[in-house]
Chains A and B, each alone.
Chain A
Amino acid sequence: MKKFLEWYPIYLREMLLFRRKLFKLGYLFSAMVIPVIYLIAFGLGLGRSVQMGRGNYIDFLIPGLVAMSSMSNSYSWVASSLNLNRLYFKTFQIFIQAPISPSSIMIGEVLAGMTKGLFASLLTIAAGFLTSSHFTVTPLFVATLLLNCFLFACLGIITGMISKSHEDTSTYSNFFILPMSFFSGTFFPVDKVPLSIKAIIYIMPLTHTNILIRKENLDQEGLLSLVVLLAFVVVFFVFGSQLIRRYNE
């Protein structure tokens, strides 16, 4: 195997495990349940009485739900499985004791997280097509979705590596992922929130995913969000790789 494909066995392992879970009802249900609940509650329920400029609320909501779904699935599957593999099943030791680089471990795990995040996003996209006649998937939408999955899978690695117990991963999720789901422009536009809160909101990467994923073309605002997302990707990837490099039992 070529050196640049060192990540592949790690990805393959995750996919072999994923394949066995994929068609289990529990997995499909857990991947879909949150975005579908939000789609029904906010989109089809509350959303019917909300008008959003030119379009209706559900057209606004669906791209946000795709971003949120890709974030939570890319993140949580990686954080949870890495933490369990490191602390309980000890399967992560196999990677550490293999003659491969920390960045290869990182890439393999991140690509696996992306795949799981994309799978969950596809379910949300399908639900979007069923509920909105205006919902479209542009090349920029796809690129943003991929970038978002990559970014949050990297964050999942960081959480999986620094958590000292499986309960810790839930704590991190409650502190970072849950607030981002609600305050980063998934359910309402962030340009009308008070300035002091806006500063915090604009630090959150999901805010920039939500800005970018709703654009048809890359304008100045979109370009800025793209740069922010890329910066997050670089920082999270480098930090995650360093955590793997410094692994010590």
Chain B
Amino acid sequence: MIQVINLTKTYNGKKAVDAVTFTLEKGQIFGLLGPNGAGKTTLIRMLTALTKPDSGTCTVASFDVRQNSAGLKKIMGVMPQENNLDRELTAYENLLIYGMLHRVDNLHRRIHETLGIVGLSERKDSLVSHFSGGMQRRLLLARSLMTSPRILFLDEPSIGLDPQIRRQMWDIIRKAKMDRRTVVITTHYIEEAEALCDRVAILSKGKLIALDSQDNLKAQIGEYLVEYVDGEGHLVQHICQSRSEAQTVAARCEDGVTIRKSNLEDVFIKLTGERLE
């Protein structure tokens, strides 16, 4: 569905995306995980024809993004990280304009459907400027779904949302996968990547550090973690390949030791030496 080869973008001499290469199969939820400034948004912008790469190739659903972005634009939906709704238009008007630009059939029915999906039907005639931040994020998601796209690009979809709304949004994204849509999602929330993604790419300083299924990534570093706080108040972690190894390590440690399964943040820290923020 997506093939990216050596994609590179430089801003002011600094490589925002540095020779990134990956492929993505149809119908997967693919996560781009990394801290702020890792290059996730730049990568999404190149995949969605908003930013021209300096070098490398990028093919989405057999459309070369550089050569035939018009074809790509017909089959993709984009939810940007920045809120680019028209705040002085109503929710309905925002979707109306978007639907007209994309020539959506049965437009009025489709607007009502998508507003229903994100639970905003009763606020369709309210100005977006009167919406809470969470409602605006939901409307952005609704807009990206308006065209029933084959591929959905979601840039930090749940940023700034409270946990309840975040989980509602995850359900909608899972539903998109059940409808055989391919979803590319950027996030710096471990919980989000773990809840949604079939495969995860870890980005740091513009480079692709690792790419695999969550289980394989965790297996690379060890499935269990032994943690305790030492006498000087520092958190000490030991990565172990099995539970029995973890129990052996824990037995040698001080009081207050815990054993837990490793997560994507542990993978990230192990591979990059940085923390996700």
Contact = CB atoms under 8 A, between A and B. Distances in A.
Place the interface of chain B in its size category: 20 to 34
A90 B84 CA distance: 5
A24 to B, nearest CB: 11
Contacts, number: 64
A60 to B, nearest CB: 40
15 contacts: A1-B100, A1-B103, A6-B101, A8-B100, A13-B89, A13-B97, A16-B89, A16-B93, A17-B88, A17-B89, A94-B101, A97-B50, A99-B74, A248-B51, A249-B45
Given A248-B52, A249-B51, A93 B86 contact: no
B73 A99 contact: yes
Given A9-B97, A13-B89, A96 B49 contact: yes
A16 B78 CA distance: 23
Using C-beta atoms within 8 Å of the partner chain, give the interface range for chain A: 20 to 34
Contacts of B103: 1, 99
A240 to B, nearest CB: 19
B101 to A, nearest CB: 4
B102 interface: yes
Interface in A84-111: 89-91, 93-100
Contact of A97 (B73, B85, B88): B73
B186 to A, nearest CB: 16
Contacts of B80: 90, 93
Contact of A91 (B45, B84, B93): B84
Contacts of A91: 84-86
Chain B binding surface, main DSSP class: loop
B199 to A, nearest CB: 25
Interface string B27-52: 00000000000000000010011111
A20 interface: yes
A95 B101 contact: yes
Given A93-B84, A94-B84, A94-B101, 18 more contacts: A9-B100, A9-B101, A10-B101, A12-B100, A16-B93, A17-B86, A20-B88, A90-B80, A90-B82, A90-B83, A96-B50, A97-B73, A98-B102, A99-B74, A99-B101, A100-B101, A248-B51, A249-B51
A134 B248 CA distance: 102
B86 to A, nearest CB: 6
A12 B97 contact: yes
Interface string B227-252: 00000000000000000000000000
Contacts of B74: 99
Contacts of A97: 48-50, 73, 76, 78
B98 interface: yes
Nearest to A100: B101
Contacts of B78: 97
A96 B84 CA distance: 13
A8 B76 CA distance: 21
Contacts of A8: 100
A93 B41 CA distance: 14
Contacts of B48: 97
